[in-house]
Amino acid sequence: MANTLPTDRGLQARMALTVVLLAALYAGFVGVLVLVDAGILVSIVVMGALLGGQFLLSDRLALRAMGARTVDTDEYPHLHAVVSRLSQQADLPKPAVAVAQTKTPNAFAAGRSQSAATVCVTTGLLETLDDDELEAVVAHELAHVKNRDVMIMTVASFFSAIAMFVLRWGWLFGGGDDENPSVLVAMVASFVVWILSFLLMRALSRYREFAADRGAVAITGRPSALASALQRIDNRMDAVPTRDARENAEMNAFFIQPLKGGTIGRLFSTHPSTESRVERLQDLERSL
């Protein structure tokens, strides 16, 4: 049996640093809005309350976005058995289990805490992977739950959403008004803040995938199974219909493997390349 999943101090440090940098960035952003009297601070407070509700309901919203539903043991006994056993090995409460009816082979974890989490897999994933590969993917998602990745990425997304809201507000209600320069200043500040937060979140997101891969290996003890699963999923992504890719693109940050999106998509991807992930898993295999 593999050892209990250890705490990833490197990931924790990067998460803390990202949140601190984002908080400082947005404190300065709000300061700019106050100085230019942009007149939208009340709207930001309202939006913050709405996003707070979104955080509390994040698991339900994620499942709805994927058209997934929670399933009981009678429907998917093998999947429940895998999640239950690996949760014990990771020293986690067993999360809810959900399945999305789609040919796209993928999986993600949702929920605001370790005790309120859901692991979701697609029917395409269940049809694509063998038992060892499925266990490796489930272990990867449990590592995300253990590391509280979903909570951190949701909070980080809140900051980014605020900046995009201000940018759109300025464009709709004052973008063309030359006599109101404060709106232009707010729009420029919003754009800069959104770009910086975007880059910070992408850097953190790519590192957390490496950390979850290591966590999966710590749980299962089989790096080759996860490497094989990633390669199978990656190969099947080429067959994903364009419509499905477009509908599920907003979930990319939470998938085990993002939907492919061309050169620009790879440049700003939420995930490292499959090749680099497999290479690191092969290094772990040799060390074991």
Q: Count up the domains in the chain and report the number.
A: 1
Domain assignment present for 1: no
Domain assignment present for 234: yes
Measure the CA–CA gap between 64 and 249, rounded to whole angstroms: 14
The contacts of residue 168 (CB under 8 Å, 6+ apart) are: none
Boundaries of domain holding 188: 9-287
Domain assignment present for 2: no
Domain assignment present for 218: yes
pLDDT averaged over 10-residue windows placed end to end, the chain, 288 residues = 58 67 68 59 61 69 85 96 96 95 90 88 95 97 89 71 68 54 71 79 84 94 96 79 49 59 56 91 90
Domain assignment present for 216: yes
pLDDT at 127: 94
Domain assignment present for 65: yes
> pLDDT by residue (tens digit) across 58-107?
678 778 888 899 999 999 999 999 999 999 999 999 999 999 998 889 99
Domain assignment present for 223: yes
Measure the CA–CA gap between 75 and 82, rounded to whole angstroms: 14
Transcribe 152-219 into DSSP letters.
HHHHHHHHHHHHHHHHHHHHHHTTT-TT-HHHHHHHHHHHHHHHHHHHHHHHHHHHHHHHHHHHHHHH
Residues taking part in catalysis:
141
pLDDT at 246: 46
pLDDT at 245: 46
Domain assignment present for 3: no
